[in-house]
A and B are shown apart, each in its own frame.
Chain A
Amino acid sequence: MMDETIRNILAEHGHLSVDVAKIRDEDDLYQVGLTSHASVNVMLSLEDEFDVEFPEAMLRKSTFESIAAIRIALSKLTGP
């Protein structure tokens, strides 16, 4: 469920150059067109969907570099 939501958000806000369905969990999102500005929109949308707030310490490129990385970040924010 979390992965599906992440993929939907990336499809809507990521402005990626490839179909999100074809992206593997570990693929580098910046290599398929994710920009800094798009990553802000992705972050804000993730906050809306999961009712969390990304702290400054998590505002690093690596947080949004892949679907797997986003999932790990969200897991830290949402808890077990």
Chain B
Amino acid sequence: MSTGTNIRVGMDVVAVHQVADSVARFGTRYLQRIYTEHELSSCAGSPTIRAAGLAARFAAKEATIKVLRPVGHQPDWRSVEVRRQSGGFCTMALSGHAAELADQAGIADLAVSLTHEGDVAAAVVVALCHSGADAVEQSGVPVVPVHCGGAE
């Protein structure tokens, strides 16, 4: 039996030095093409610390896009935003085409976890969907309903 509730999971890994190289090579054009003002203000500190935060955010954006499963053009990178909350944890905020894709998929909630260590930054995104479309699209076998945990 299916309740029409299912989950999607996306993850991504980014090399921190590649982000640092991009900032050094393309500067503001790279930063403003990919990250929102909030994300940039959330990543303060030395160039290395900043690059690690930006790399984790890029991983979160890519992980979210994997969850959204776009067919055709990708959402603008800035329409998939990592919001740092006052408690220190992060959430995802979608706008534009990304928000439309989430609506189409019946995504009711997104949870994200970011991490970085040394040259590796990574993120996992879990989406709670209510559409029920995923439950049968792959195999015809209903998906067991689950509940998503928080992002902390």
Contacts and interface: CB of A to CB of B under 8 A. Distances in A.
B26 A41 contact: yes
Interface residues of A, number: 14
Interface residues on B, range: 20 to 34
B18 interface: yes
B74 A60 contact: yes
A58 B73 CA distance: 7
A24 interface: no
Nearest to A43: B33
A16 interface: no
Given A15-B18, A40-B22, A44-B26, A60 B72 contact: yes
A46 B117 CA distance: 31
B25 A41 contact: yes
Interface in B16-53: 18-19, 21-22, 25-26, 29-30, 33-34
Given A37-B22, A38-B18, A44-B30, A59 B72 contact: no
